[in-house]
Structure 1
Amino acid sequence: MSWFAASDRLVVAGLSGLALTVAILLVSGAHKSAQAGDCGSVASPGLDWSECSKNNIMLQGSDLHGANLAGAHFDGTDLSNANLTSANLEKATLVRAWVKNAHAEGANFSRIEAYRSDFSNAVANGAAFASAELQRAEFGGAQLTSADFQKAELGRADFDKAVLGGTNFSLANLSRAALSGAMIKGPVAFGGAFMYLTRIEGLDLSVATGLEQQQIDLACGDKATKLPAGLKAPENWPCPPDDKD
């Protein structure tokens, strides 16, 4: 074989390898595009903003009914009065976000990060908050019947005047959470929940499920707290006022 022939073969091989690499990159890029949401689209029902960055913007009153918002970033974003009914926000971030007065019936908030976020007066009946990070979140006045908080982190979360019934707190961390003042409209599940200094003053928990004496011994109730049959108030009730640090 001549030197020129060998050289030509090397050039062709190099071009073939380059073409293959380009093809792989194009296919990979197309696959990633297919996986990513349409981040430039205007808020509308059923849109796909999965993995999109929407931090620190004003989306109050937006209609995102049935939208795919999985993994999206809404840190510091105002979603007040938004329609999030049946929307999928699994693994989204909503740190210090405003979701107050939103309609979020049947929405999926599983595994979200939402420290210090405001869900006050939200209508979130049947919503899923399983394994969500909700430390110091505000749920005052929220409607949470049949909502699922299983394994959620709810340290110091506030449920004052929230409507609870069929709500699931099984295996959740309710350390220092404020449930006092919540409106209990039916059985609430507490099986395996960590209730260190959980405020339950004045609550009627007589039909609550999963409660055990060791949970009650850690929690903070008073003479007005009603417990399920077989459980008794510990001698250290009532607890001193909570430190709001």
Structure 2
Amino acid sequence: MSDRMTRFLAGCLGALTVAACSGGAFAVEALAASDKARIAEITAQGGCPRCDLKLAELRGISMENADFDRAILREVDLKEAVLPNGNFRRADFRRTEAERSDFSGSDFSNASMRSVDLEKSNLTGANLQDVDLRESDMNSSIVSGANFDGADLRNVTLIRSIGHGATFRGAKMDGANLERADLRDTNFQNARLRQAKLDRISAKNADFSGADLSGVRLVSSDLSGANLTDVDFDGALLRRTRLPGADLTGAKNLDPSRILGACGDEATKLPSGIELATCTY
């Protein structure tokens, strides 16, 4: 092949490369414009009930009282969204990315939210009754006053979350990780927390009555004033657990050999055969 032909082909390939790169850049810009247009359209109509928005890029979308009833929001990018008091009843949120979002006061009842990422999100006062949240990331989220009654929270992570006054009545929370969570005045009546990690939680005045705490870890946890009546502690570890003022009347399967350094006070109510040292810390 002549040098002239070689230079000609090289020039053609270079032109094609530039065209391809330019086309790629144009596609990215067009996609970004399309996302902005979609967000603007959804915002203008106040939501998108029953819409199929799977894989949509809705990062940063902001509106109050949005209606996404039964919408398909599966694997959507909703990071930093601001959607307080929204309607997400029966919506599909599976594997959605919603870190640092504000869903305070929103209704998610009966939604499918398995493996959703809600890290550092605000769910204050939200309704998550009967929601499927299995294996979801809710670390450092705020769930104070939220309703998780009957929800499926198996293997969820709520590390360092804040849940003052939240309710988890009858929730399935097997294998959940709530380490260092602030759960003051929270209601776990009849919840199932088998093998859950409750190390270093603050659950002052929380209600665990009738809950299944089989195999849980309560290391350096504060359960001062907690209602622990009729709780099943089979295989649970209570190490340096604070129990002043707690009521353990009717608690079952407490193993003295697995109560290590736990303490209470004169107001602590214990089942027969269980003794605690007086708290000095």
Q: What range describes the TM-score normalised by the shorter chain of this pair?
A: 0.7 to 0.9
1:105 aligns to 2:121 (yes or no): no
The 3-state SS of whatever aligns with 1:42 is helix
**Who is 1:189 aligned against?**
187
Match of 1:229 among 204, 221, 246: 246
- Structure 2 length-normalised TM: 0.65
**Who is 2:216 aligned against?**
219
The 3-state SS of whatever aligns with 2:104 is coil
Q: Is the 8 A contact 2:176 2:196 kept in 1?
A: yes
Number of aligned positions between the proteins: 198
* 1:216–1:78 Cα change, 3 Å: same
State how 1:21-32 maps to structure 2 within 5 Å. Answer: none
Q: Deviations over 1:20-73 (max 9, x none)?
A: xxxxxxxxxxxxxxxxxxx99713166141110000011010013211101000
* 1:191–1:49 Cα change, 3 Å: same
1:202 aligns to 2:217 (yes or no): no
Q: Is the 8 A contact 1:220 1:237 kept in 2?
A: no
Q: Deviations over 1:74-118 (max 9, x none)?
A: 111011111110000000001100111111110111111111110
Q: Which amino acid aligns with 1:51?
A: R
Q: Which amino acid aligns with 2:195?
A: L
The alignment's C-alpha RMSD in Å is 2.2
Q: Measure how far apart 1:143 and its partner are.
A: 0.8
**Who is 1:151 aligned against?**
150
- Structure 1 length-normalised TM: 0.74
The 3-state SS of whatever aligns with 2:157 is coil
1:76 aligns to 2:78 (yes or no): no
Distance 2:175 2:45 in 1: 37
State how 1:45-56 maps to structure 2 within 5 Å. Answer: 47-56=46-55
Distance 2:39 2:103 in 1: 23
* 1:44–1:206 Cα change, 3 Å: same
Q: Is the 8 A contact 1:206 1:226 kept in 2?
A: no
The 3-state SS of whatever aligns with 2:43 is coil
Q: Percent identity?
A: 18
Distance 2:174 2:101 in 1: 26
* 1:48–1:224 Cα change, 3 Å: same
Q: Is the 8 A contact 1:203 1:224 kept in 2?
A: no
Distance 1:168 1:46 in 2: 33
* 1:58–1:208 Cα change, 3 Å: same
Q: Is the 8 A contact 1:203 1:225 kept in 2?
A: no
Q: Is the 8 A contact 2:79 2:97 kept in 1?
A: yes
Q: Deviations over 1:97-145 (max 9, x none)?
A: 0111111110111111111110111111100110000001111111111
Extract unaligned runs of 5+ from structure 1: 1-38, 239-245
Q: Is the 8 A contact 1:205 1:226 kept in 2?
A: no
